[in-house]
């Protein structure tokens, strides 16, 4: 281990308690719009001499062109595979780029989710390290190489991983479930060898220019920097993207509700466990009933061993080691999902119990004790969402992306406590119809 890495570990260990203490305090979020159109969100936390930065663009997989599913993720992957010569600086291949980040003791990554194309940076705030890390990240954003030979290699690696994944019943279940729930919406598109084959260097470059631009960027800065420093970081990172322009992006359609129930039984010879997925389109993140539905889901299947599904399917009948449910809430209505594994000969009864639980919960709602316990669990666990710089970054970036109020975190516990049973039941019935659900069973007995 290098001396730099030892110093990094010492700082983390010595200051961990300071971070935890800072997380308990109010987190005033400052927000402003930069001249280039980017929206910048800043939270100052001085507990550690470090800063976390995230820059996000409307370039998630929902923006993949038809026939090129996986383009957003491929673009994010290739963003870290080398830079061109730019602004007087020499070109760096992927190995030299990796070494440059190691020398700075900083961390950098790029990812594409359903909605967001995200670039993240973490560095110490010592002036020379901060300057070097921001400058290197700016070079990657301004002049990615998108080397054709490197992409050809990465494409083969992705295809190999995809083929291996097709031997896993849980992968097959997820694919069938998403296709049935989203029915052609980009949220349900899957990258395959055929769609990767349709992606070349020109496609990577075009997607990057089209979607990674300052005018609609969200920049989140959390850590031991001033407002002026935060603004300077945003300006430096986005400067090289100005030539990308700001052509309006087309609207993405909403996910339509299901018109009727659908059941898919998919054979998978030799599977030791049947995969069961039940669900339907849920809610977007900015839905006014988001908190009420988070509470409802905690009671039904999101609360671990305290949830109804766990009690009724595992504890009372021993049909599974675990069953859970969740809402995936993005800019569009992500899937509400119930998932479990069970022995193939028990899949039919497990499916029946899931549907019975959904109908009973929709008909009767939670008990007063269940609602009180769910509120207590969520409120008591809230501090764990803010016990590190990176977790604060995640929360503030989510606020930025969904245009939520700046006091979202400060008022969260009070708003959870204020949800009453009537509001929860109304919200649940508005979104969840037990008679219009997708049910996918992979590997169950006929």
Question: Over the stretch 414-437, which tens digit does the pLDDT of each residue have?
Answer: 999 999 999 999 999 999 999 999
Q: Is residue 70 part of a domain?
A: yes
Q: Is residue 7 part of a domain?
A: no
- Per residue in 297-322, pLDDT tens? 999 999 999 999 999 999 999 999 99
- For residue 30, the SS3 value is strand
In this predicted structure, what is the pLDDT of residue 49? 97
The answer to whether residues 226 and 279 belong to one domain is no
Q: Which of 212, 244, 276 is the C-terminal boundary of a domain?
A: 244
Q: Is residue 231 part of a domain?
A: yes
Q: Is residue 249 part of a domain?
A: no
The answer to whether residues 191 and 282 belong to one domain is no
* This prediction's pTM: 0.92
- Per residue in 88-129, pLDDT tens? 999 999 999 999 999 999 999 999 999 999 999 999 999 999
Q: Is residue 13 part of a domain?
A: no
In this predicted structure, what is the pLDDT of residue 26? 61
Q: Which of 189, 212, 244 is the C-terminal boundary of a domain?
A: 244
The answer to whether residues 29 and 171 belong to one domain is yes
Strands 39-44 and 218-223: parallel
CA 32 to chain centre: 24
For tokens 């006091």, what's the residue? 407
The answer to whether residues 222 and 331 belong to one domain is no
- Stated length of the chain: 446
350 with 320: CB under 8 angstroms?
Answer: yes
The answer to whether residues 44 and 95 belong to one domain is yes
The answer to whether residues 413 and 298 belong to one domain is yes
In this predicted structure, what is the pLDDT of residue 27? 81
In this predicted structure, what is the pLDDT of residue 445? 82
The answer to whether residues 87 and 118 belong to one domain is yes
CATH number at residue 284: 3.30.830.10
Residue 379 CA to residue 90 CA, distance in Å, equals: 51
- Per residue in 148-166, pLDDT tens? 999 999 999 999 999 999 9
Q: Is residue 390 part of a domain?
A: yes
The answer to whether residues 332 and 421 belong to one domain is yes
359 with 429: CB under 8 angstroms?
Answer: no
The answer to whether residues 159 and 267 belong to one domain is no
Q: Which regions of the chain are under pLDDT 50?
A: 1-25
The answer to whether residues 209 and 304 belong to one domain is no
Which residue segment(s) compose the domain that 96 sits in? Answer: 25-244
Of 378, 366, 363, 362, whose CA–CA distance to 420 is shortest? 366
Alpha helices for 25-147 (secondary structure H): 71-78, 94-104, 127-142
Residue 290 CA to residue 395 CA, distance in Å, equals: 15
**Domain total in the chain:** 2
Q: Is residue 366 part of a domain?
A: yes
Q: Is residue 354 part of a domain?
A: yes
In this predicted structure, what is the pLDDT of residue 10? 41
In this predicted structure, what is the pLDDT of residue 444? 86
The answer to whether residues 288 and 413 belong to one domain is yes
The answer to whether residues 95 and 194 belong to one domain is yes
281 with 433: CB under 8 angstroms?
Answer: no
């Amino acid at each position: 281990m290098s001396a730099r890495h030892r110093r990094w570990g010492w700082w983390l260990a010595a200051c961990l308690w300071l971070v935890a203490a800072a997380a308990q305090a109010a987190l005033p979020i400052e927000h402003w719009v930069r001249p280039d159109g980017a929206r910048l969100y800043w939270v100052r936390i001085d507990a550690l001499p470090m800063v976390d930065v995230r820059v996000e663009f409307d370039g998630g997989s929902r923006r993949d062109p038809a026939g090129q599913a996986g383009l957003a993720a491929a673009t994010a992957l290739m963003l870290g595979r080398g830079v061109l010569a730019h602004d007087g600086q020499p070109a760096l291949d992927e190995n030299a780029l990796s070494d440059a980040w190691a020398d700075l003791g900083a961390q950098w990554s790029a990812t594409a989710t359903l909605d967001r194309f995200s670039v993240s940076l973490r560095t110490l705030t010592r002036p020379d390290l901060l300057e070097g890390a921001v400058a290197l990240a700016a070079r990657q954003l301004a002049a990615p190489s998108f080397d054709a030979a490197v992409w050809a290699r990465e494409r083969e690696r992705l295809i190999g991983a995809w083929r291996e994944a097709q031997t896993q019943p849980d992968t097959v279940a997820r694919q069938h479930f998403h296709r049935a729930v989203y029915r052609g919406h980009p949220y349900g598109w899957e990258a395959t060898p055929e769609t990767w084959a349709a992606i070349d260097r020109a496609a990577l470059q075009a997607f990057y220019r089209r979607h990674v631009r300052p005018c609609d960027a969200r920049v989140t800065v959390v850590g031991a920097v001033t407002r002026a420093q935060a603004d300077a970081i945003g300006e430096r990172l986005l400067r090289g993207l100005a030539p990308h322009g700001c052509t309006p992006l087309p609207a993405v359609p909403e996910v339509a509700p299901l018109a009727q129930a659908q059941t898919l039984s998919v054979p998978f010879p030799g599977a030791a466990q049947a995969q069961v997925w039940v669900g339907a389109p849920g809610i977007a993140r900015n839905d006014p009933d988001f908190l009420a539905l988070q509470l409802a889901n905690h009671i039904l299947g999101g609360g671990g061993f305290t949830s109804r599904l766990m009690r009724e399917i595992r504890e009372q009948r021993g049909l599974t080691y675990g069953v859970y449910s969740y809402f995936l809430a993005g800019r569009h209505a992500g899937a509400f999902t119930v998932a479990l594994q069970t022995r193939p000969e028990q899949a039919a009864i497990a499916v029946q119990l899931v549907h019975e639980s959904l109908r009973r919960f929709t008909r009767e709602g939670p008990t007063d004790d269940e609602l009180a316990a769910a509120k207590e669990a969520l409120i008591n666990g809230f501090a764990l969402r803010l016990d590190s710089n990176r977790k604060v970054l995640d929360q503030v970036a989510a606020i930025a992306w969904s245009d939520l109020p700046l006091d979202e975190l400060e008022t969260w516990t009070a708003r959870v406590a204020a949800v009453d049973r009537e509001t929860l039941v109304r919200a649940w019935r508005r979104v969840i119809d037990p008679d219009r659900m997708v049910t996918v069973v992979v590997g169950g007995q006929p």
